[in-house]
Structure 1
Amino acid sequence: MYDNLGSQPGMQRPTNAQSTPFGNSFYGAGSGLIRGGLGAYGEKILGSSSEYVQSNISRYFSDPQYYFQVNDQYVRNKLKVVLLPFLHRGHWTRITEPVGGRLSYKPPIYDINAPDLYIPFMAFGTYVVLSGFSLGLNGKFSPEALNWLFIKGLVGWFLQVSLLKMSLFSLGSGEAPLLDIVAYAGYMFTGLCIAVLGKIMLSYSYYFLMPWTCLCMGVFLVKTMKRVLFAEAVKIVGVVIESSGVL
């Protein structure tokens, strides 16, 4: 009955809610204010969150492409600095340049003191190959032994990174980019390659080359970590001065 009545022309169904022009206007204005307020608040939260995430990512995880901008001249000079740090007469500070309104470090191709990942990865691969060749000369080579060398190298690299990171953190500077620490720790494989190569050529030379390369690596890391600590101290002083309104 009600369906037939509602389907007749000229007949309208009764509505439960009565609308008034004042109610509609108030409702539209209120919903607009609510939507605008929530939108601005959400945009503010998302904007601040994205800025926070980007600042922390750039602080702890730099662009990986930065660490592979090298050439032959840089590789030769960097190997001299790592293996013979006593002969490095230049400064140990990194070169900065303004990029996008902020200071950024120049890539390794333009700065000998910049860390790179090309040498550590190449040195790690060379170390595994030379160690496997040394095992073959002694009749101890096997795929399992080569896999074990690879795993030991990665574990040693990880432990070196952890040690450097904890050392910086204990000294009050734990904000160095992670890839910088990975690069600094990976330079140890250059000395290991020299020691293993000496063992292949003359077995007794290993016992002289290994302490020497460890000493050179220690001097290199001390000077490098000292530079990192000094750079962080200067950054903190600059932030304090700027926040105090002196500048």
Structure 2
Amino acid sequence: MAAAVASTAATAAAASGGMGPQAAIGAQLLRQMVPGAADAAGPAGAAAAFSHQTARMSAAARLPKYYFAVTNGYVLRKLLLVLFPFRHRSWRRRQLVGDDGDGAPGEFLPPREDVNAPDLYIPVMAFVTYVLLVAFVHGTQARFRPDLMASTGTLGVVVLGLEVLAIKLCLYLVNARPVAWLDIVAFRGYKFVGVVLAMMAGFLHRHLYSVVLMGSAFSMGLFLMRSHRGVVLSRGDDVDDEGGGVGVRRNYFLLGLLVLQFPIYWALGVKP
């Protein structure tokens, strides 16, 4: 048994041709799992493929951590930005490297270092608060049901999912820059902040609910318009050969972001 293990290790070391030990082991495993890999690409190619897959898996594992890299200061600034986006000037996301002015993508700074970066901490917390608050509102009106929280959560997820799919399709149709799915989900998830605020205002006065709900919808729409403007209008090909068709579609898309928020807020909100 020991001789067989030593023989396998010696074979891997000889085939690696000077590669590092991890790459050599990865190449050996790849050849064992996919026998034709060594013939197609050779030992160096097998090791490179293994290293590439490892890098992709590491990046995928770090992705959720990026969206939850927040601080108390960031959360406060982001909430104020979502609710009062009127005086905010710079909407461009900051990059760590690669920002050469020509649109070359770089690595974006995490939310704790850039208030314009999307996060998932606020949307998740706001969504949980929304579900609990809807149940509380129905309880004060003697309309609470055991399945109410499940149905409220399902409604929120369905509305959010449909909006994300619609926005992803529209971004493709207007030939915008590629946007990560989690970025789209994060931006749409901020709407639960305004819905929760409107329901809490309704406890103070019934008429305040509608005023705050519509005001929050307008603020959210303006926030989305300005946040997405850099994505939609950053390519430099805003006007096509047909006389500005691309630019017109992009302007309609940005306006649609604002208009769409009003029916969504109305569908999600529950008047106390």
TM, length-normalised to structure 1: 0.69
The amino acid that maps onto 2:91 is W
Aligned to 2:219: 216
Aligned to 1:124: 127
Which 10-residue stretch deviates more, 169-178 or 111-120?
Answer: 169-178
Secondary structure of the 1:73 match is helix
Asked if 1:66 is matched to 2:69, the reply is: no
The amino acid that maps onto 1:94 is R
Following TM superposition, by how much is the alpha carbon of 1:75 offset from its aligned partner in structure 2, in angstroms?
A: 0.4
Asked if 1:91 is matched to 2:90, the reply is: yes
Asked if 1:202 is matched to 2:221, the reply is: no
Asked if 1:38 is matched to 2:39, the reply is: yes
CA-to-aligned-CA distance 1:57-83 (integer Å, 9 cap, x gap): 97x998110000101110000011101
Q: CA RMSD in A?
A: 3.2
* Contact preservation (8 Å) 1:134, 1:200: no
Task: Say if 1:156 and 1:50 are closer, same or farther in 2 by CA, change over 3 A.
Answer: farther
Task: Say if 1:214 and 1:165 are closer, same or farther in 2 by CA, change over 3 A.
Answer: same
* Contact preservation (8 Å) 1:127, 1:196: no
Segments of 4+ moved more than 2 angstroms? 35-55, 229-234
* Contact preservation (8 Å) 1:165, 1:174: no
Instruction: Map residues 88-237 of structure 1 onto 2, 5 A cutoff.
Output: 88=88, 90-98=89-97, 103-173=106-176, 175-231=178-234
Percent identical residues: 32
Distance 2:107 2:157 in 1: 30
Which 10-residue stretch deviates more, 212-221 or 167-176?
Answer: 167-176
Following TM superposition, by how much is the alpha carbon of 1:87 offset from its aligned partner in structure 2, in angstroms?
A: 2.5
Secondary structure of the 1:103 match is coil
Distance 2:223 2:79 in 1: 11
Distance 1:168 1:85 in 2: 22
Secondary structure of the 1:98 match is coil
* Contact preservation (8 Å) 2:177, 2:235: no
Secondary structure of the 1:122 match is helix
Following TM superposition, by how much is the alpha carbon of 1:145 offset from its aligned partner in structure 2, in angstroms?
A: 1.8
Secondary structure of the 1:97 match is coil
* Contact preservation (8 Å) 2:177, 2:234: no
Following TM superposition, by how much is the alpha carbon of 1:40 offset from its aligned partner in structure 2, in angstroms?
A: 2.7
* Contact preservation (8 Å) 1:116, 1:183: yes
The amino acid that maps onto 1:72 is N
Instruction: Map residues 1-16 of structure 1 onto 2, 5 A cutoff.
Output: none
The amino acid that maps onto 2:219 is C
* Contact preservation (8 Å) 2:126, 2:193: yes
Following TM superposition, by how much is the alpha carbon of 1:148 offset from its aligned partner in structure 2, in angstroms?
A: 1.0
The amino acid that maps onto 1:150 is G
Distance 1:202 1:42 in 2: 72
Bigger relative CO (Cα 8 Å, ≥ 6 apart): 1
Task: Say if 1:180 and 1:36 are closer, same or farther in 2 by CA, change over 3 A.
Answer: closer
Distance 2:172 2:44 in 1: 35
Distance 1:43 1:157 in 2: 46
